[in-house]
Amino acid sequence: MSTIHKQLVTDEEGRPVGVLIPYEEWLRIEQQLGGAVAANGIEQLRRHEGVIRLSEDPVAYQRRLRDEWA
């Protein structure tokens, strides 16, 4: 990977709180990570597919709970 030109952002006490990089370099980094992040994120979601089984409609449940407070 090539060198990334970055600039540290610090708070009043000199502690680093962020990093600034040129937009072109950010786009390059996103492109390099994009495929891996997107594929990994989809796989993480698929792992939970079909796990939650609801016995009641979520909106009906929410309305019922709100009616208990009224």
Q: Which of 58, 9, 1 is nearest to 33 (CA)?
A: 1
- 27-50 in b/e form (b: 16+ CB < 10 A) is eeeeeeeeeeeeeeeeeeeeeeee
In a domain, 39, yes or no: yes
In a domain, 37, yes or no: yes
pTM (two decimals): 0.41
Query: How many domains does one find in the chain?
Result: 1
In a domain, 22, yes or no: yes
pLDDT of residue 39: 60
**Two tokens, residue 4:** 């990334």
Q: What is the domain range of residue 47? A: 7-69
Say yes or no to pLDDT of 8 above 90: yes
More confident residue, 36 or 10: 10
Tens digits of per-residue pLDDT, 14-70?
999 999 999 999 888 888 877 555 566 677 777 777 777 888 999 999 999 999 987
The residue written with tokens 């990093």 in the block is: 19
In a domain, 1, yes or no: no
